[in-house]
Every structure is written in structure tokens, then in C-alpha cells.
């Protein structure tokens, strides 16, 4: 079975540009998570969805960040406009969220560099 | 609020040494789950183990073993006869249940360096 798929794997953009990160969760999983990892702040949860509905977006840094999950097999994280401090590795993870099956499976990450 | 503490920022060992990574957690939940993840130099996060709060039996998987002690709120991870390929960042995590139930709180991670 394919794991979580993220694209692109690397993104380099200039400050002020719009960036869209994409994620395809594991088929059958009903929860999807977006994380950001930096040296300074470690692994931070930005937002998570359950059955395509955003449940907790308290980790989204500011209004420049938005996330959508239009269907069970696709999610996007958008940054508009991007800033150098947004440079980080962004991970998408999915889980089954069934009692006893809470482990999250992570995608390979998107390394974002904003110059 | 849930909290996970990995007090060891970085550990260096020589190949074949045993090494234990500590994890201490705080929670008010009576039912919860604990996890370990590995992040090798290639960057991906790999799920290693899940343990629920009702099961305090230690678990062994090859060279890996986990010691869960509810009395001390600890979930430690031991690698026996370490190998260079074990070099990675290891994260301990705790589930935050309630509602849709499966938000994870991660520790800061422990960098393990295994030298040949």
C-alpha cells in the first residue's frame, strides 16, 4: 500500500510568492495532519482534519496560512504571501483515528525555502 | 495539558553499545497512547511503536525494547547492540484524546549518534 504522498519534495520561492503544498493520505485513513519542523521550534502541528473537516487549526501561524481538504484523498496547505521565516520542512501525516489505532503515518515532507 | 519531555538532547555511543532514550510524559487522561518515532538523516518520520495506557508489559522487537512504567510516567526506549544505522532523531509522543481523539503531542526529540 502506498504511504502518504507529498508534493513537491523541495520548493524554493521568493518572498511574497504563493506556495501550495499537496498531500495525499493513505487510502482509508480518516484523519490528516499538517506539521512544520524547524530547528528552533521542533515539530509543530499546524492543523488537522477528521473526515475532511478541519478540527483544530490553532497551530496555524497567521492568516497567511490556509489549508483545505476537499475530499478524503487530497489536502493542500497554502502560504500567501510567503516569508523567509516560513522556511521549514512541512510534513503531512494521516491516521485511521479508530480506537487503538491512533498512530500517524508521515509523508516524506516538503522542504520549503523562501528567499 | 499534555506534555512530553525528552531530557536527553543528544547521545553519542560507540557501535555495539546499548543505549536508552528517556521519555517522561504528563497527562490527565486515564486512557492514552504513547508512541516512538524515528527520523533518520534522510528526514522522513518512521513510526516505531504504539503502547496504550492499560498495557504496561514491556515490548521487545529485535534489538529494540520499550519499558512503560505508569508509576513514573515514563516510556523509555532501549537499543541493544547499537549500529551506525540507528543514528537518527528519536521522538516520543503522547495522544491527546477527546473529541476526535488522535492529536499527538511530541517531545523535542533525542539525537542519537552511533559511531563505528
Asked if A97's CB is within 8 angstroms of B45's CB, the reply is no
Asked if B106's CB is within 8 angstroms of A42's CB, the reply is yes
Report the percentage of chain B scoring pLDDT > 70: 96
Residue B100 clears pLDDT 60, i.e. is over it: no
Tell me, letter by letter, the H, E, C secondary structure of A18-30.
CEEEEEECCCCCC
All three cell numbers of A64: 497567511
Contact yes or no for A81/A66 (Cβ under 8 A): no
State the pLDDT confidence band at B104, using cuts at 50, 70 and 90.
Answer: confident
* β-pair type (A88-95, A105-106): antiparallel
Number of C-beta neighbours around residue A53 at 10 A: 9
Which helix (DSSP H) or strand (DSSP E) does residue B107 occupy?
Answer: none
Mean pLDDT in residue range B50-79? 92
Mean pLDDT in residue range B81-88? 97
Q: How many beta-carbon pairs below 8 A join chains A and B? A: 51
Residue B38 phi/psi, 5° resolution? -115, 135
C-alpha–C-alpha distance, residues B38 and B70, integer Å: 23
> Cell 528567499 maps to which residue?
A115
**Quick one: closest CA in A to B40, which residue?**
A108
Distance from CA of A77 to the nearest CA of B (A): 18
A75 touches chain B (CB under 8 A): no
Contact yes or no for B48/B65 (Cβ under 8 A): no
Amino acid at each position: 500500500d502506498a504511504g502518504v504522498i507529498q508534493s513537491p519534495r523541495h520548493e524554493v520561492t521568493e518572498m511574497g510568492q504563493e506556495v501550495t503544498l499537496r498531500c495525499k493520505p493513505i487510502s482509508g485513513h480518516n484523519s490528516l495532519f499538517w506539521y512544520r519542523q524547524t530547528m528552533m521550534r521542533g515539530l509543530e502541528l499546524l492543523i488537522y482534519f477528521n473526515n475532511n473537516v478541519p478540527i483544530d487549526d490553532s497551530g496555524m501561524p497567521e492568516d497567511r496560512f490556509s489549508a483545505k481538504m476537499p475530499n478524503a484523498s487530497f489536502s493542500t496547505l497554502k502560504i500567501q504571501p510567503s516569508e523567509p521565516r516560513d522556511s521549514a520542512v512541512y510534513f503531512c501525516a494521516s491516521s485511521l483515528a479508530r480506537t487503538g489505532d491512533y498512530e500517524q503515518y508521515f509523508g516524506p515532507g516538503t522542504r520549503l525555502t523562501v528567499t | 495539558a499534555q506534555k512530553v519531555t525528552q531530557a536527553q538532547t543528544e547521545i553519542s555511543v560507540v557501535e555495539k553499545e546499548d543505549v536508552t532514550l528517556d521519555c517522561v510524559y504528563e497527562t490527565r487522561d486515564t486512557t492514552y497512547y504513547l508512541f516512538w518515532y524515528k527520523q533518520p538523516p534522510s528526514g522522513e518520520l518512521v513510526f516505531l511503536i504504539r503502547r496504550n495506557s492499560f498495557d504496561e508489559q514491556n515490548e521487545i522487537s529485535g534489538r529494540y525494547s520499550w519499558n512503560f512504567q505508569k508509576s513514573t510516567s515514563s516510556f523509555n526506549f532501549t537499543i541493544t547492540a547499537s549500529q551506525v544505522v540507528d543514528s537518527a532523531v528519536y521522538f516520543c509522543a503522547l495522544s491527546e484524546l477527546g473529541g476526535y481523539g488522535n492529536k499527538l503531542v511530541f517531545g523535542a526529540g533525542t539525537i542519537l549518534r552511533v559511531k563505528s
